[in-house]
Amino acid sequence: MKITVIGTGYVGLVTGTCLAETGNDVTCVDCDRKKIDILNRGHIPIYEPGLGELVARNVAGGRLRFTTDLASSVQKARMVFLAVGTPPSTEGSADLSALWAVLDQVAPHLADDCIVVCKSTVPVGTNAKIAARLKEAAGREVDVASNPEFLKEGVAIDDFMKPDRVVVGARRESVINAMSELYRPYLRTGKPFLAMSPESAEMTKYVANALLSTKISFINEVANLCERSGADVNDVRHGIGHDRRLGFAFLFPGVGYGGSCFPKDVRALAALARDLGIEPRILEAVHEVNEHQKTVLVDKIERHFAGKLADKAIAVWGLAFKPATDDIREAPALVLINRLLELRATVRVYDPEAIENVRGVYGNRLVYCQKRDDALLGVDALAICTEWKQFVHPDFDEMRRLMRRPIIFDGRNIYDPLRMERYGFTYYSIGRPPLLAEGGA
């Protein structure tokens, strides 16, 4: 099948590449010529494990290509996937301006039997607006399907190739059948293809992300209660996670969620509720708790040093909002860095993939380290913001030798406090009592 994917961000590039992997003829389009040039040179503009190899294989096989020529790329396409960005507006609702601009450009060039598939995360009711806009621009009815993505950065290839479910919203059975056939190779293990109305499909995406965000904010608020009451959130997490009604997923306390989806989608769903005359009390609380949680680690640092950080050097391990990505959008590490800079601390940073993205934000205001342990040289404390695997088993004796003071502020609870005690570290984590080394470091 000939398919065009418009937008080569995380969703578009992964979608186009995975569709090519099952034999489809895929053209990925983007208005960013620099990004297309990078792809045509055989490089990947984002970090996503396994994506580079998959792109190279499908380009070599002639099933995948990249272009800025929007008009010609859609003329013979059986399906056109919309994967353009829908960032939050100032009031939190989704900004659809890029989506409307793309639709106006493609409408005159769509084939008669083309199905337009919306992968972008959009407010409920957008499918109907897309159909109406295309009818006006093209002078005829155009089939429009809603097909929300559920990709997790860092494991996006597996999520697409082996999905938990595929959700498609459409009004005509022929569209449902075409989408079912397209996704058949990915559902061979019996995972469901869920056909529903476009409005239900659009709502499903927002509700899924909002509920996952709620679990994170909930356990983070519980972690703060545990600290004040003397409980250990890790024990509590085990105590509730074994309840089959609750489970362990997304019940890991930390310094808050970030990325391109959860923060944006929680705010967008809350904005929709307000538009419909409903006060989104839970959604607003989820967002507020998360914004506060991003400040917890720096609050611990300030308290420990009595606010006197002007002559202190702090190492930050982990800059991306989660492991296995270079994405720093709304990353908790940036909140920490901003505050440390305000307090005139020297900040030494390390991340396996996100260094250059952070450099683009902060320029020469930070010390950028190419190796994990280089960030520790002469620092007064280490703050951990992302749970990269390479941080789990460092040489603690070597860490003590490199650091001026053996103090760790662990924003992801990756270390065992008893182990930290044996190595003589002052250790702060999330939702657990602090461990002060002899003399308080």
The catalytic residues are 261
Largest CA distance in the chain: 78
Type of residue at 62: G
Least Cα distance to 396 among 429, 369, 414 occurs for: 414
DSSP bridge pairs for 430: none
Sign of the C-alpha dihedral computed for residues 305, 306, 309 and 310 taken in this order: negative
Structure token digits, residue 438: 């002899």
Q: CB under 8 Å to 6, separation ≥6 — which residues?
A: 12, 29, 30, 70, 74, 80, 81, 82, 83, 84, 102, 106
One-letter amino acid at 114 equals C
d(CA 285, CA 300): 23
Residue 238: count other Cβ atoms within 10 Å of its Cβ.
12
Q: Crossing angle, helix 355-362 and helix 332-342, to 10 degrees? A: 40
User: 25 phi and psi, to 5 degrees?
Assistant: -95, 105
Would you put residue 405 in left (φ > 0), alpha (ψ -120 to 50) or beta? beta
Q: How far is CA 48 from CA 9, 45, 141, 354, in A?
A: 11, 10, 37, 12
Cα 29 to Cα 239: distance, rounded to the nearest angstrom = 49
Angle between helices 198-229 and 233-241 (to 10 degrees): 140
Would you state the structure tokens that stand for residue 87, as one six-digit string?
């960032």
How many angstroms separate the CA atoms of 273 and 93, rounded? 10
